[in-house]
């Protein structure tokens, strides 16, 4: 019997019952009160001068600033949950980060308030023109945005990590006889303002696949199982060659967690989240979507990206290598032997142990409450 449920928790003891027609499972989870002095993560959506802040999306998909902030807020809350559960799976202790907005009020006006299903999100306007932003490389964007955010949020110095999405990402639709990109590198060459970089205090991401993200928790199940194919003639596909809406969303979540990991002092690892395991992150939240989960790697035509490390102005960056790697980590769920398989979506014991004592992650109190299962006749 397998249950996967997202349940809001209040501070203190939470009595929970999960059941079906023939069995019920009772448990109590203690949620610790927040320590006001802990360092935190601040979620930020950046818009640029000369632009309305909307992100690229099909006409029927809301794409204004409010929609972007709601999508980011929900994704961030999910990353907080996923971090706690994946650390718990390997250490027996739940450890995760907290958000600005979960703490006492900040001095800065927020765009999306904190709730049980969303982190608070701040929207800031860069002085950089959006056309200029689109011409910058990912590293130059990281450097420029980081400098501006330091001016916007001086109280964050030495006690915040910035989880930031930029609005200027734009995929160039195919024209005439142009062919659909066959590789990730070809797709990125058609994309202005693409970014997925994390180090130090800033994890910076483009908004190219934001159209596949849910705005609210009620839409999460649909988004994790939405097998609609991305129109790659019109929009960016960044799904580890799986080409569906659900795969774009889970890859985005995984990439964000991977880059946040770098901000939490993690290097690349042979397996797991700090490799390419984030592409399987939906398996922690839900069960495999209908049909085959990923492209077979034995065709040899397409392979998954490797990872590279480089130094820029004495800052170490980690990114996807330009040369494909034959060592893919995306799970072929059609051959998964167990419904609770999470593929490569794990930290790894050494990393989980490191995170469990990291100053940016806070822990829960030890629960002495019992759990029990009752089978109905």
- Give the tokens for residue 170: 């734009």
Say what the pLDDT of residue 28 is.
Answer: 86
Whether this prediction's pTM lies above 0.75 is answered by yes
Helices and strands, counts by H and E, the chain: 8, 14
| Model pLDDT for residues 214-225, shown as the tens digit of each residue | 999 999 999 999
Neighbouring residues of 300: CB distance < 8 A, sequence distance ≥ 6: none
Nearest to 102 by CA among 162, 40, 45, 31: 40
Residue 298 backbone phi and psi in degrees, to 5: -85, 0
- Measured CA to CA, the distance from residue 218 to residue 363 in angstroms comes to 28
Q: Which of 27-31, 95-99, 302-306 has the highest mean pLDDT?
A: 95-99
Other beta carbons less than 10 A from residue 260's beta carbon: 21
d(CA 187, CA 244): 15
CB atoms under 10 Å from CB of 366, counted, come to 9
Question: Mean pLDDT throughout 25-29?
Answer: 84
CB atoms within 10 A of CB 321: 12
Above 50 in pLDDT, residue 305?
A: no
Centre a 10 Å sphere on the Cβ of residue 315 and count the other Cβ atoms it contains: 14
Distance (Å, whole) CA 145 – CA 276 = 26
Mean pLDDT value of segment 287-309: 49
Convert the pLDDT of each residue in 222-257 to its tens digit.
999 999 999 999 999 999 999 999 999 999 999 999
* Residue 68 reports pLDDT greater than 70: yes
* Cα gap 117→342, rounded to integer Å: 22
**Residue 48 — pLDDT band, cuts 50, 70, 90?**
very high
Alpha helices in the chain (DSSP H): 65-91, 130-135, 138-152, 184-189, 220-225, 245-263, 282-285, 349-356
Ordered by start, the domain boundaries in the chain are 40-295+305-320+338-363
């Amino acid at each position: 019997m397998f249950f996967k449920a997202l349940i809001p928790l209040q501070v203190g003891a939470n009595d929970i019952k999960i059941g079906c027609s023939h069995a019920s499972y009772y448990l109590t989870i203690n949620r610790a009160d927040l320590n006001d002095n802990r360092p935190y993560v601040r979620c930020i959506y950046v818009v640029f001068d000369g632009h309305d802040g909307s992100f690229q999306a099909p006409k029927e998909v809301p794409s204004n600033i409010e929609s972007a902030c709601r999508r980011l807020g929900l994704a961030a809350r999910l990353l907080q949950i996923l971090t706690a559960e994946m650390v718990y799976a390997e250490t027996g202790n739940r450890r995760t980060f907290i958000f600005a907005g979960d703490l006492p009020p900040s001095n800065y006006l927020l765009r999306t308030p904190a709730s049980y299903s969303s982190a608070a999100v701040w929207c800031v306007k860069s002085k950089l023109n959006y056309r200029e932003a689109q011409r910058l490389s990912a590293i130059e964007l990281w450097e420029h945005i980081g400098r501006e955010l330091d001016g916007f949020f001086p109280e964050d110095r030495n006690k915040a990590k910035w989880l930031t999405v930029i609005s200027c990402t734009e995929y160039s639709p195919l024209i005439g006889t142009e062919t659909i990109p066959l590789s990730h590198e070809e797709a990125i060459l058609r994309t202005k303002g693409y970014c997925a970089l994390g180090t130090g205090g800033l994890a910076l991401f483009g908004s190219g696949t934001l159209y596949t993200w849910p705005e609210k928790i009620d839409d999460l199940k649909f988004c994790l199982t939405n097998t609609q194919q991305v129109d790659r003639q019109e929009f960016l596909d960044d799904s580890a060659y799986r080409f569906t809406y659900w795969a774009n969303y889970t890859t985005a979540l995984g990439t964000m967690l991977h880059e946040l990991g770098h901000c939490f002092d993690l290097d690349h690892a042979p397996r797991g989240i700090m490799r390419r395991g984030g592409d399987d992150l939906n398996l922690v939240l839900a069960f495999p979507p209908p049909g085959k989960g990923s492209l077979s790697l034995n065709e040899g035509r397409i392979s998954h990206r490797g990872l590279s490390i480089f130094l820029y102005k004495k800052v170490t960056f980690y990114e996807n290598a330009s040369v494909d790697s034959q060592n893919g980590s995306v799970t072929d769920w059609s051959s998964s032997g167990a419904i609770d398989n999470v593929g490569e979506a794990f930290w790894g014991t050494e990393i989980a142990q490191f995170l469990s004592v990291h100053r940016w992650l806070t822990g829960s109190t030890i629960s002495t409450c019992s759990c029990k299962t009752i089978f109905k006749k």
